Amino acid sequence: MKQECQIVWFKKDLRINDHRPLLEASKTNIPTIPVYFFETDYWKQPFASKRHWYFIHDSLMDLKKEIKSIKSELLLLNSDVINFLELIKHKFELISIYSHEETSNHWTYKRDINVTNWCTKNNVNFLQFPTNGIIRKLNGRNEWSRLRNERMSKNIFQTPKILKKLNHDIKSDILTKENSLFSKDDNFIFQKGGRKEGLILLDKFLNDKLDNYLQNISGPNNSDKYCSRLSPHLTYGTLSVKEIYKKLKDFKYKCEKQGLKYNKRGLSAFSSRLSWRCHFIQKLEDQPSIENKCMHSSYEGMREKKSNTDTLKAWETGFTGFPFVDACMRSLTYNGWITFRMRAMLTSFASYDLWIDWRESGYVLARLFTDYEPGIHYSQLQMQSGVTGINTLRIYNPIKQSIEHDKEGEFIKKWVPELKNVPSMFIHEPWKMNLEEQTKYSCILGKHYPLPIVDHKEAVRMARDKISKVRKDDNYKSKSKNVYNKHGSRKKVKTVRPVRTKKTTDQLVLI
């Protein structure tokens, strides 16, 4: 008779604490294989990048140690999931697979369906447990907030003391950081992954950064110092949202008990953002097609799916001739992170000024963001590109943003050294320099740095016209209502925002 076994499949939950699949598996007396798959085909998709893999690799190294501490061995495989299951089935009596529910892109969705079908066919239990605040088979948005809060208030799932090991050696593949799938000729920095690092960041955020968080969240100069930088840890699950809430609660309690002052507004803003996180991912869970289709179907086709290659390249490489936009893009390319407002501005510039379809700009950004999380990413891209039909259209003015967030041009000069001698009076709009001034400041436009590739005012005027045309569609309003019913935020969430924006009557805001 074949020996019984079961699998705990790690995906975007690279931890052993607050990990229900692992805990449930440990409660049975069945030998268990904890496994992570490097699925080559996934890494060939247009959203995947070396940045993501580097972070995951660090996290797997921590996870390996954690799993050792519960007397087991993490199996790392360079394999398709079904191939491995076939192999296991051949040698063992596979009883169950334990995993978290995954809300990711179409690729993983399809793969999970294949695994479900394989399990049904082979009489194997596929036990999937909820992830964070995402509710599978949600019965309408009205219920979401209550269900999510209920889940977040539950206790943390304890780390098992031991995971029964399989009495048979299955060899791990060597998954190195460097992989021939990724280019070698880049010179970037990579955010460190791993649970240990995630816990350090959370601690630092609460104890050192919180007081300055809100006033530095928007601009690019200091946001990397004062934002938590926890996003990739949440994306790859080295920390769970629930355990962060628990830490916030403990922190509050400790401060209040000891009569210590803490920044309540900052803490509340941070907590709201964790809730937004779930809110956005829930949209993708409820409607997986938003990865590829506009939430409001009237906007489908408004922008051509394939844009001008030169325009896309200028935006992607930071050579648009708009210093602040270029500085943000180059900084993002180097660091793999930029703050929310600058992500929104980069998207707005691509979508309104350059009229690039959000699917094209979205893949570029997905590869650059270490924290690429499909649910947040595609929802935000659609919002910032004006194709949801339920959100205020926000068109960012790159010059206004530049003056507001980088008055003296320090950030610009750091990332666009071509402009390093240009004085602050011209740094936001170098095209206002005459030839004599350009010569004096060693920056000839069109030679050292490009002239603007677009006229911002004219581009915005054209964008507004095109959007107004779409809004005249016969069923526009009823479609918007449907989108709201499916995805709209119900509760007036008490959020603390750094900057107030006024809504205009036609729901279009120029910022």
Ligand X SMILES: Cc1cc2nc3c(=O)[nH]c(=O)nc-3n(C[C@H](O)[C@H](O)[C@H](O)COP(=O)(O)OP(=O)(O)OC[C@H]3O[C@@H](n4cnc5c(N)ncnc54)[C@H](O)[C@@H]3O)c2cc1C
| DSSP codes, 240-252 | -HHHHHHHHHHHH
| Candidate list 96, 131, 228, 382; residue touching ligand X; CB under 6 A | 228
Beta-bridged to residue 94, according to DSSP, are: 5
Please identify, among the stretches 84-92, 165-173, 375-383, 492-500, the one whose residues bind ligand X according to the rule CB under 6 A. Answer: 375-383
Minimum CB distance to ligand X smaller for 280 or for 324: 280
| Candidate list 376, 416, 419, 443; residue touching ligand X; CB under 6 A | 376
- Contact call for residue 231 and ligand X (CB under 6 A): yes
- Contact call for residue 144 and ligand X (CB under 6 A): no
C-alpha dihedral over 84, 88, 93, 97, to 10 degrees?
Answer: -30
Q: Are 348 and 384 in contact (CB under 8 A)?
A: yes
Q: Give the helix ranges, DSSP H, for 92-155.
A: 106-122, 144-152
Report d(CA 452, CA 458) in Å as an integer: 12
| Residues near ligand X (CB under 6 A), total | 28
Minimum CB distance to ligand X smaller for 95 or for 496: 496
| Candidate list 380, 382, 388, 397; residue touching ligand X; CB under 6 A | 380
Contacts of 103 (CB under 8 A, 6+ apart): 131, 134, 281, 282, 284, 285, 374, 375
Minimum CB distance to ligand X smaller for 273 or for 448: 273
Q: Quick one: which of 434, 306, 318 has its CA closest to 363?
A: 306
Q: Give the helix ranges, DSSP H, for 318-447.
A: 323-335, 340-348, 358-368, 374-384, 398-405, 410-415, 424-427, 435-440
- Contact call for residue 348 and ligand X (CB under 6 A): no
- Contact call for residue 416 and ligand X (CB under 6 A): no
**Count of H-run helices and E-run strands, the chain:** 23, 7
CB atoms within 10 A of CB 186: 12
Q: Exposed, middle or buried, 481 (CB in 10 Å: 0-12/13-18/19+)?
A: middle
- Contact call for residue 331 and ligand X (CB under 6 A): no
Smallest separation, CB 366 to ligand X (Å): 7
- Contact call for residue 381 and ligand X (CB under 6 A): yes
Q: Are 32 and 25 in contact (CB under 8 A)?
A: yes
Q: Give the helix ranges, DSSP H, for 28-122.
A: 40-43, 50-69, 81-91, 106-122
Minimum CB distance to ligand X smaller for 89 or for 273: 273
Smallest separation, CB 385 to ligand X (Å): 9
| Candidate list 51, 100, 148, 277; residue touching ligand X; CB under 6 A | 277
- Contact call for residue 344 and ligand X (CB under 6 A): yes
Please identify, among the stretches 96-104, 222-230, 259-267, 464-472, the one whose residues bind ligand X according to the rule CB under 6 A. Answer: 222-230
- Contact call for residue 369 and ligand X (CB under 6 A): yes
- Contact call for residue 54 and ligand X (CB under 6 A): no
Please identify, among the stretches 153-161, 321-329, 335-343, 434-442, the one whose residues bind ligand X according to the rule CB under 6 A. Answer: 335-343
Report d(CA 178, CA 185) in Å as an integer: 12
| Candidate list 246, 273, 420, 490; residue touching ligand X; CB under 6 A | 273
| Candidate list 26, 105, 145, 347; residue touching ligand X; CB under 6 A | 347
253-272 residues near ligand X, rule: CB under 6 A: 270
Q: Are 31 and 164 in contact (CB under 8 A)?
A: yes
Please identify, among the stretches 2-10, 99-107, 372-380, 456-464, the one whose residues bind ligand X according to the rule CB under 6 A. Answer: 372-380
382-411 residues near ligand X, rule: CB under 6 A: 384
Smallest separation, CB 341 to ligand X (Å): 8
- Contact call for residue 298 and ligand X (CB under 6 A): no
Q: Quick one: which of 320, 309, 315 has its CA closest to 445?
A: 320
Binding site for ligand X (CB under 6 A): 217, 227-231, 234-235, 270, 273-274, 276-277, 280, 339-340, 343-344, 347, 369, 371-373, 376-377, 380-381, 384
